[in-house]
Amino acid sequence: MLLVLTWVLAAEPIRVGSSSMTPTLRDGDQVLLDKVTYRFRKPRVGELVVVQPPGGEPLAVKRVVAVAGSDVALEDGALIVDGVEQREPALDLAGVDGVYFGPAAVPDDTVFVLGDNRGESVDSRSYGPVPLADIVGRVVVRLWPPTRL
């Protein structure tokens, strides 16, 4: 019973269902989802989150790149937040094209999310900033194959 309550209320294993987070996470990886942290604080830039995209799409793992009150843009593939180019060590540079986006304001109670494999990711560039209510939780560890994030 305690295991079931923990799974439902606090943590849950999730299977990554796309290549949008490569190289950080690959299709088929298993991660542990923390469902508690965001009850006490808002997501932070750089965190991996599981979101419920609009339109009934399957849950998706994405990276928070901007929070409410920020302006976000992509200029020739480079992420620009509040006018400053961001360093993105987890980004798959081979998957970045010369795309331009924005700038767009991130409204209150939302975050802007992108996949690390930008060429294969459907993310906030397509469906806009994600409401905090649509964030299921925070990815804390990769369970399989075993490693730390």
Active-site amino acid positions = 20
DSSP states along 2-68: HHHHHHHHTEEEEE--SSTTTTTS-TT-EEEEE-SGGGTS---TT-EEEE--GGGPPPEEEEEEEET
Peptide bond into 13 cis (omega under 30): no
